[in-house]
Amino acid sequence: MFHYKLSVAALALFSGAVVAAEVAVGSDDQRLQMFEQRLERFENELSVKVPASSANAFNPAIALILSGLYTNLSQSPEGYRIGGFALPEDSETGPGSRGFSLGESELVISSNIDPYLFGNLALVLTPEGEMELEEGYIQTIALSHGLSVKAGRLFSGIGYLNVQHPHAWDFVDAPLAYQTLLGGQYGDDGVQLKWLAPTETFVEIGVEAMRGSGFPASERDKNGSGAAAFFAHFGGDVGISNSWRAGLSMLSSVAQGREVSDVDLVDAEVTNSFSGDSRLWVADFVWKYAPSGNAAYSNFKLQGEYLHRNESGELTYDVGGSDNTAAYDAKQSGWYLQGIYQFMPSWRVGLRGERLNVGTLEYGANSANMAAPGFNPSKQSVMVDYRPSEFSRIRLQFTQDKSRQDLTDNQAFLQYHVSLGAHGGHQF
């Protein structure tokens, strides 16, 4: 091993000296051509000298994300509901509990498996001390023509925010539209095929076939896929200071006996069951500005998404009680718009506005028991955060939550995130 290291060092010094000598003579084009040829030759020779069984070749990158939160609420979170939106009991909605709490800790292990595959595993330790598998997939890295395949448990590529892990969010919580129409975030077991076009303008198109075990779908005793998704993203630069990305996505799923928690006409909590088709459309847009393309000192990001979902089928009211089944049709939507401004290194401020449209809810024969509320939930948030280094962040957020009818919840959050170990970069 000692002789191998000396050989590589000697090869590097020799090649560098030869390149320097050749670049010193001839025309500019000749110099550049000589330099490129010598560099390519050096890289090829170096790759031969490095043994494939090097001790560090198979060491995976390991990252640990730790987070904590203090929450102050003017209204009790007990029995929190978003009026007019039926959600599974385990959905990630609401402001959480009052006082101090440990956020989700995330352990990520990733590495290239061989020249053809990349592997990634993300485990989450919940505040309750339960271990959950958030993502676990393999991904191709050697396919041609801009194609890549990902298979396993993964976050769907729909929208913009859905693929991001919570520690990468710009606010403490997910927007109301994500909480109600996706149950927080849509991740599932399946396969994704993505194509990156060989064009100057960023063009990314993908399709997914999923098991369909998570909301808005439901677990089914059936072969094949229970959910399918399509997404198309486009982007580019405007001058040297601006860049953008826009996208359109669709998630189609089938629910069979999907139990949801709701309240009836007399505000009594009931468990209903839905069977039918669900189709969600997402339009997203991001604009980034950095003076002269340098985002280190200051930058601005404008981000927004609009989600619209249609569901049709049958709804069984009060499962285990009345068990009344009737036709059901719902058209609901929601949006958020946020701006994040880094006004100096390490310091950012942000503002987010969001709103839900309860839309049209047709319960058929169950209209005597269920009805849509007469208001549209909304929320406004402002935050400021500080990064002592690239491995830590402290955030203060104030929110006025009007997602419950006749209630305004003034909320304050103090949050920290720290990262230990190697962690890959986040998306645009």
The tens digit of pLDDT for each residue in 363-417 reads 998 888 887 777 899 999 999 999 999 899 999 999 999 998 889 999 999 999 9
State the pLDDT at residue 187. 93
**What stretches in the chain show pLDDT beneath 70?**
1-58, 89-92, 423-428
State the pLDDT at residue 32. 57
State the pLDDT at residue 368. 84
State the pLDDT at residue 199. 94
The tens digit of pLDDT for each residue in 223-254 reads 889 999 999 999 999 999 999 999 999 999 99
Mapped to the 3 state alphabet, what secondary structure does the chain carry?
CHHHHHHHHHHHHHHHHHHHHHHCCCCHHHHHHHHHHHHHHHHHHHHHHCCCCCCCCCCCEEEEEEEEEEEEECCCCCCCCCCCCCECCCCCCCCCCCEEEECCEEEEEEEECCCCEEEEEEEEECCCCCEEEEEEEEEECCCCCCEEEEEEEEECCCCCCCCCCHHHCCCCCCCHHHHHHCCCCCEEEEEEEEEECCCCCEEEEEEEEECCCCCCCCCCCCCCCCEEEEEEEEEEEECCCEEEEEEEEEEEEEEEEEEEEEECCCCCEEEEEEEEEEEEEEEEEEEEECHHHCCCCCEEEEEEEEEEEEEEEEEEECCCCCCEEEEEEEEEEEEEEEEEEEEECCEEEEEEEEEEEEEEEECHHHHHCCCCCCCCCEEEEEEEEEEEECCEEEEEEEEEEECCCCCCEEEEEEEEEEEEECCCCCCC
- The whole-model pTM stands at 0.84
